[in-house]
A and B are shown apart, each in its own frame.
Chain A
Amino acid sequence: MLAAPGVAWLIGFFAVPLYATLAVACGTDDVNGDPRPVWNPTRWSLGRAAVPELGISGDGLRGVWDGLIDGTFGDPMLRTVLYVSLALALCCLIGYPVAYYVARHGGRRRGLLLGLLLAPFWISYLMRMLAWVNLLQPDGQVNDLLRVLPGLAPRDWLDGGPVPLVLGLVYGYVPYFILPLYAALDRIDPSLLEASRDLHAGPVRTFWHITLPCSRQGLLAAAVITALPMFGDYYTHDLVSPSNRTTMIGNQIDQFLRQSSGQRTGAALVIVLATGLAVLMAYYLAATNRASQETG
C-alpha cells in the first residue's frame, strides 16, 4: 500500500508522458497546423513522406525515416554516434588509469583522492562548461598557454569545430565514468593479485590476465552510464561548438520541439533515439539486476 503513491506518480509522470510522445509522433495536425495527439493506437499514422520534387519535407516517423536516408537526420545521427564513441574512448583512456590508481594505490590518500574525484559532482555541469568557454576564448588562457609552448600555435577554439565539442563531452562526463569503474576495481580481491605475483607474473601480465577481465563489468557499466546522457546531450554543443557542422541529434530534438509545427517530427526523433538506446538501457538494467540478486 505504501508503494501506491510512488507507483501512481511514475505512471502519471513517466509512463503516460512516454506514451504521449508516441501519441504526438503518430498523431495528426489540426487546422492551425498544430500537432494533435492521437491516443488510440489503432488510429496512429506514420506521418507524411517527403516529396523532394515539390519541396515538401516529411514529418512524423516517416519524415524521420526519409531524413535518416537523405542525411537531414542521418548526418547528425552519425555525428552523434561518432562523437560519443570518441568521447567514450577518451574517457576510458583517462578514466581507467585514474580509477585504477585510486582503487589500488590510494593508500592513506584515498579519502582525499575520492573527495577530489567527487568534486565535479558538486559543481554544476553548466558551470564547468562556462569555465571552458572562458578559457577557450581567442584571447583566453588556453591560447596564452599555446603561445608559450614551443611548436604550438593558438587557434580559434570556438569556431564550431568538433574538437572542443568532443573534449567538452569528455570533460563533462568523465567523472561519471570513473566512479563505477572505481567501485569495480575496488572490489577485486587483492589475493588474486598476490597469487599472480607469486606465480611470477609481471605487472603487465597481471593487468591483462587479472585486473582487466575482473573489471570488465565495471567498464561496461561505466561506458553505458556515460553514453546514455551523452546521446541526449545538446547543451554542450550549444555552449562550446554552436554551429551546423557539429549538430547532434539532441539539438534537432530541442529545435523541433520548440516550434509547435515541428513537434510531431521532434516527438518522432525522441522515439527513434529512445528505441536506439533501448539496447543500452536494457543491458544496464539486466546487469544491475544481476548484481543486486548476487548481493541481496
Chain B
Amino acid sequence: MSRRRADTGTRRGRLVGPWRRPWGLIAVTWLYIAWSIVPVLVAIQFSFNAGRSRVNWQGFSLRWWSGDAGSLLRDPDLWVAMRNSVVLALVTMAVATPLGVALAVGLTRWRGPGRRPANLLMLVPLVTPELVLGSALFLVFTRLYETVGIQPVAAILGGVPGVGALAERIGTITVAQIVGHVTLNLSYVVVIVRGRLLSIPREVEDAAMDLGATPWQALRTVLLPLLGPAVFASLMIVFATSIDDFVISAFLQGDVSSQTVPVRIYGGVRTAPTPALNALATAMLALSLVAIVLAIVVPRLLRRGEPRTVDALSDFASLDV
C-alpha cells in the first residue's frame, strides 16, 4: 500500500508532492512572476503611447519610435547610446571569451607554484561589488594609466596602422569601458569553461598527442571543439552582462557620446523623460530576446536530438556564479 503511494507521488523520478496540492505556493509563485514581468510589459506598452505621458494611455502611435524629433530613430543621443551598448557588448565578447578560455585551460593544466594565487586572483572579481571595481578602474585610468585615460577608442587607436580602421568603426566608446567590461566578465567565462573542462578527461588530449599531435594541435582540434557549448554559453553570459551593466559604463564614460543605454536611461529618468525612453529600453529588450532565442536555438542545432531546452535552462539556472 505504502509502496503504491510512493509510486504515485513520484513522477519521472521526481517527488511531485506526497501531500495535497500546495495552493499557497502556487499563488505566491504566479503572483511573483506577474509582479516581476507586468511592470515591464506596461513600460513596453507606453513606448507606443500617442501622448507625452508615460502613465496615461492616449492611444497607439509610433511617434516615439520614429516620428518625432525626440524619437528613438531621430534623436542622435538615443541612437548613439544603442550603438554604443551593442558595440561595447560585441567587443567585450570578442576580447573576454578567448582570454577567459585560455585562462581556464591554463589554470586547469597549471601544475606548480603560482597556481593557487592565480586562482584566487581569478575568483575575487566574481564577488567584488561593481561599485568597487568601477571606482578602482576609474581611479587607475585617471591617475595612473593617464596616457590612455578615459578617451574614445577612435581617439587613441584611430591613427595606429592595422587597427586604425577598426578603431574608427568602434568609435565613441572608451578604451576604459572596454577594459572594465572585460574585467567584469573574464571570471564568468573562466568559471563556465572550467566547469566543462573538468568533465573532459585528460586522456582525450593525451591520446591525441600519442597519435602525434603537438600540444597546440591537441588543444585546437580536440579540446576546443569539446568546449563548444561552454564557449557559447560564455558568449551569451558576456553579452547579457555587458548590455545590462550600468556602474562600469557610467564610471568609465568620457562624455555624452560614450554613454550606453543603461546610462542613458539613468540620465533620462532624472531629467524629463518622454516615452522615447521607453522605446529605447524596449528596443534593447528586443535585442536581448533575439540573443536568448539564439542561445536556445543554436545549441539545439549544434547537437540535434537529445538535449532539451529545459535542460539547457536548468544548467543555466544551477550555475552558481
A interface, CB within 8 angstroms of B: 1-7, 9-11, 13-18, 20-21, 23-24, 35, 37, 94, 97-98, 100-102, 104-105, 107, 110-111, 113-135, 137, 139-141, 171, 174-175, 179-180, 182-183, 186, 190, 193-194, 197-198, 202-203, 221, 224, 228-229, 231-235, 238-239, 242, 250, 253-254, 257, 263, 266-267, 270, 273-274, 277, 280-281, 284-285, 288-289, 291, 296
Contact A194 B29 (CB under 8 A): no
> In the complex, what's the smallest C-beta–C-beta distance from A14 to chain B, in angstroms?
6
Report A-chain residues with C-beta under 8 Å of the C-beta of B37. 116, 119-120
A-B contact pairs, 13 of them (CB 8 A): A6-B99, A24-B139, A116-B33, A124-B244, A126-B265, A127-B265, A127-B281, A130-B43, A131-B39, A197-B9, A197-B19, A198-B6, A233-B131
Q: Which of B226-256 contact A (CB under 8 A)?
A: 240, 243-244, 246-247, 250-251
Q: Which of A1, A114, A119, A131 contacts B42 (CB 8 A)?
A: A131
Chain A contacts of B277 at CB under 8 A?
Answer: 130
User: Most chain-B Cβ atoms within 10 A of its Cβ — which of A97, A110, A120?
Assistant: A97
Closest to B277 in A: A130
Is B301 in contact with chain A by the CB < 8 A criterion? no
Which one of A118, A126, A174 lies within 8 Å of B266 (CB-CB)? A126
Instruction: Let me know if A2 and B42 touch, CB within 8 A.
Output: no
Q: Which residues of A contact B39 (CB under 8 A)?
A: 128, 131-132, 134-135
Q: Is the CB of B42 within 8 A of A134?
A: yes
Decide: A234 and B144 in contact? CB cutoff 8 A. no
Indicate if the CB atoms of B29 and A21 lie closer than 8 Å: no
Counting chain A CB atoms within 10 Å of each CB, which of B22, B29, B137, B243 scores highest? B29
Interface size band for B: 35 or more
Given the known A-B contacts A14-B183, A179-B317, are A127 and B284 also in contact in the complex, defined by CB atoms under 8 Å?
yes
Residue positions of B touching A, CB distance < 8 A: 2, 6, 9-11, 13-19, 22, 24-26, 28-29, 32-33, 35-37, 39-40, 42-43, 46, 54-56, 99-100, 102-103, 105-107, 109-110, 118, 120-125, 127-133, 135-140, 143-144, 179-180, 182-183, 186, 190, 198, 240, 243-244, 246-247, 250-251, 261-262, 265-266, 268-270, 273, 277-278, 281, 284-285, 288-289, 291-292, 308-310, 313-314, 316-320
Shortest CB-to-CB span from B41 to chain A, Å, is 9
Docked complex Cα distance between A20 and B308 (Å): 48
| Residue in A119, A129, A134, A284 whose CB lies within 8 Å of B55 | A134
With A24-B139, A126-B266, A127-B265 as known contacts, state yes or no: A10 contacts B289, CB within 8 Å.
Answer: no
Please report whether the interface of chain B is mostly helix, strand, loop or mixed according to DSSP: helix
A194 to B138, CA, bound (A): 55
- Please name all residues of chain B whose beta carbon is closer than 8 Å to the beta carbon of A98 when the two chains form the complex: 28-29, 32
Compute how far the CA of A23 lies from the CA of B251 in the bound complex, rounded to whole angstroms. Answer: 19
Known: A115-B313, A127-B43. A231 touches B129 (CB 8 A): yes
Given A9-B182, A232-B247, A288:B313 Cβ within 8 A: no
Chain B nearest CB: distance from A104 CB in Å?
Answer: 7
Known A10-B186, A113-B29, A238-B270: A125·B244 in contact at CB below 8 Å: yes
Cβ of A97 to closest chain B Cβ, rounded Å: 4
The CA-CA distance from A126 to B278 in the complex, in Å, is 11
Whether A101 contacts B18 by the Cβ 8 Å rule is no
A110-B310, A183-B320, A194-B6 are contacts. A137–B55 as well, Cβ < 8 Å? yes
Q: Contact between B106 and A1 (Cβ–Cβ < 8 Å)?
A: yes
Point out the residue from B19, B42, B262 that lies within 8 Å of A124, measured CB to CB.
B262
Chain B residues within 8 Å of A2, by CB: 102-103, 105-106, 109
Partner of B54, one of A102, A137, A174, A266: A137
Which residues of chain A are within 8 angstroms of B19 by Cβ–Cβ distance? 197, 202-203
Q: In the complex, A133→B267 CA distance in Å?
A: 13
Chain B residues within 8 Å of A267, by CB: 135, 139
Report chain B residues within 8 Å CB of A229. 129-130
B272 shortest CB reach to chain A, Å: 13
Q: How far is the CB of A43 from chain B (nearest CB, A)?
A: 16
**Closest residue of chain B to A97, judged by CB?**
B28
Known interface pairs A124-B243, A131-B40; A114-B186 also in contact (CB < 8 Å)? no
On chain A, the residues within 8 Å of B22 by CB distance are 101, 105
- Is A253 touching B265 in the complex (CB atoms < 8 A)? no
